Structure 1
Amino acid sequence: MNLHTLFRTAAVTVLLLAGSQAAARTVTDPDRPRQLENGHPVSVSWDDPAGFTELRYSGNRWEAKQGNWVVELAEYLRERVGKALPAGQRVDIRITNIDRAGDYEPGRGMNADRIRVMRDIYPPRLWLSFTRYDADDRVIGQGEPRLADLGYLQRTSRHFNSDPLAHEKRLVDDWVAREFGRAGR
């Protein structure tokens, strides 16, 4: 085997491995669980992210499905609701749709379609379905809130500017404060 063939084989192997690694890190990977682990008073599950507005109407679907942002948002939701939930109560939450703040705009030049552009026309939106139970397992609240922040660019965020989910987390904070009262702040 000559050096050229060896180099080509190694390059193809690296590309195949990199491709399989990238595929495993997408939010639409069918092998990924669609819920957080149980054993917590706040259970969070979600519909198939492939059906979320964030992916279906994205200007760059490949870029939009990268990462672990659905799980990160679900963990944040569990944490915030868990802090606000009175002792003995539990909540089951299902994320039914996500449309993250900003969007990818195709046709902006070489690799510019990989940049999430923030504009007023791309507000963050989050659709939930939840059921709240008391200590005796009776339903004491339920709903299907559709959260949106149309003025998200005019508000400051308590989250770090480098947090790619800062606007979505603010939606969660606002909803928890409304739904669970001052304990949610």
Structure 2
Amino acid sequence: MSRLSLHRLLLAGSLAMLAATAIAAPRTVTDPQAPRALQAEGPVSVQWNDPRTFTELRNSPNRFEAERGDWVQQLAKQFRSAATKTLQPGQTLDITMVDIKRAGDFEPWHGPRANDIRILRDIYPPRIQFEYTLKGGDGQVLDQGEATLRDSGFLHGGTGRQGDSDPLRYEKKLIDDWVRRDLAKQIAAN
């Protein structure tokens, strides 16, 4: 193998590794390439405002950790999953997540080792604000409005699932409770 061929082979291998690393790198919720809505699928559509405007990021003492991962998309999927099971045939639900504050917060004043640890305390309850439009099978608006979900007793009420270690369990419980309590009531009334 000639020196030029070896050089080209090494260059191609390096470029392939860089591309694989870029794909595998954890994305953030503020990534400009990150979607701002779930793909259209079924009767529930979910979109969200720019996560940079969310309280979770604006007020976080550790913005880097707060924006890591795909937690906005996971909460959107929870809305879709929970609401789809509740809707009557032909009904649709459009949701726009306006603001999110996840349960817990970072307390960097405990030292450098605590900087990346989300601390759960009663003073850091989860909160989700969203707008919604519920439509009947004929396209008529049955209900619409804005809702703010908050659970200041989130540490005392349990998540409903024994041993749940999902980092979004408290936020998902807010969504499940709203669907079961409020959305189901609106569907039953129409």
Aligned to 2:107: 105
Unaligned 5+ runs, structure 2: 1-14
From 169, 174, 177, the equivalent of 1:171 is 174
Q: How far did residue 179 of structure 1 move?
A: 2.0
TM-score (norm 1): 0.85
- Identify the residue that residue 136 of structure 2 maps to in structure 1: 134
Deviation at 1:59, TM superposition (A): 1.5
- Give the structure with higher Rg (CA): 2
Aligned-residue sequence identity (percent) comes to 49
How many residues of Structure 1 are paired with residues of Structure 2 in the alignment? 170
| Structure 1 position 66 matched with structure 2 position 65 | no
**Which residue pairs with 1:80 in the alignment?**
82
Return the alpha-carbon distance in structure 2 between the equivalents of residues 174 and 139 of structure 1: 22
Select between 153-162 and 142-151 the one with higher mean Cα deviation: 153-162
Report the Cα distance in structure 2 between the residues aligned to 1:49 and 1:21, rounded to whole angstroms. 21
Give the secondary-structure state (helix, strand or coil) at the position aligned to 2:154: coil
With normalisation by structure 2, the TM-score equals: 0.82
Instruction: Find the aligned partners of 1:153 and 1:17 in 2 and give their Cα distance.
Output: 42
2:155 to 146, 153, 167: 153
Q: How far did 1:135 drift?
A: 0.5
- CA distance in 1: counterparts of 2:21 and 2:184, whole angstroms: 46
| Aligned partner (choices 94, 107, 110) of residue 92 of structure 1 | 94
